[in-house]
Structure 1
């Protein structure tokens, strides 16, 4: 496996564009490459017929389904080699919060939502429960979400974070953000999924560790896929537990990414599939 460079400040970001010839050619994969993720496909329900789907007859890697919700959250860099993935340097900042108080605050907010709209709030609360269960512990996941909210407020909103985290074009607009997990061979990675007018991107909330010689270094886990590189966006659910919902992202060169633990799952599916819909002439 190739390891990240010793100087995280010099680590390049994931490839943002390709030529038309590159779009149809599958890049060579390293010997330790493992497709996302590692669950028996029998445990995952296929996308419903009424969802947008793409035939995978020529796919070079088998569809192995997402990692389970109950798996431990990742704290180390996954071993996969992927042209859309890149580490990012860690900035010196931290947020400390009382865990019990943080959990009470999250549950209190859910209670207020339930009072406003029972049906919708029950769905959101159920998704939030699955989201928090995906983390290493309920309390840690709740603290992580509140810490992320604090970071967003402190840094001026998601749009500013997006533009400082990823390379963006001047005319590029951030459209949607979703708190979720990315399934990897090292475990689920908590972070935020960004949908802009030009790319689909993900960045972990916390840095992951990796070894450079005898030293342990830390980097954020980033994914950036240009919209013209998207091939399919497939919703899926666990047959064993329908409450566990996933979104499979497939690139034109057959790299797969599985996202899970969405708080607003239906909205995520709808908006992530929109770039794949054919443009309608007025």
Structure 2
């Protein structure tokens, strides 16, 4: 457990240094993801993304167009048949218009452990957990989805 805590703290320090170096979370968001004209960053949350390899720590960005996750540390991937490795950040981008539903749940044995599931229109599901402020994250996400749906309905009206 000691090395896991050390690794987690090291990752958070590296992430914090990067945010300061780049000039804030908005600039980090623009550097990591394609941002459309007029898109605004609404909320940034530290959390974990559940993967088959285990949870990955990172930042969840909620904007007026998408939900985007980027790991705080890069992961090593085999990039060629020769066995060469590259280091990349683990990223997930979900356009708000592609979100079918969001579900909140918690660990029955540990109710303080709360989870957020995002299900896309093509039935992929993404699980996020370990939020510093779970309620603010949920509220920001619901507001972004509601606003995106309202904008979609308004833009499809024909007069």
Q: Same fold (TM over 0.5)?
A: yes
* Partner Cα distance (1:192, 1:157) in 2: 13
Partner of 1:145: 12
Partner of 1:222: 91
Q: Which of 234, 239, 247 is matched with 2:103 structurally?
A: 234
What CA deviation, in whole Å up to 9, does each residue of 1:124-152 have, x standing for no partner?
xxxxxxxxx8x962232123223211211
1:137 match: secondary structure: helix
Structure 1 runs of 4+ with >4 Å offset: none
Partner of 2:62: 195
Note if 1:253 corresponds to 2:122: yes
More strand by share: 2
Q: Which of 130, 154, 158 is matched with 2:21 structurally?
A: 154
* Partner Cα distance (1:167, 1:158) in 2: 14
* Partner Cα distance (1:226, 1:279) in 2: 15
* Partner Cα distance (2:144, 2:103) in 1: 13
Higher relative contact order (CA 8 A, sep 6+): 1
TM-score, scaled relative to structure 2: 0.85
Aligned Cα root-mean-square deviation (Å):
2.0
TM-score, scaled relative to structure 1: 0.49
Q: Identify unmatched segments of 5+ residues in structure 2.
A: 152-159
Change (3 A) 1:232 1:264: same
Q: Identify unmatched segments of 5+ residues in structure 1.
A: 1-132
* Partner Cα distance (2:145, 2:85) in 1: 40
The answer as to whether partners of 2:63 and 2:144 remain within 8 angstroms in 1 is: no
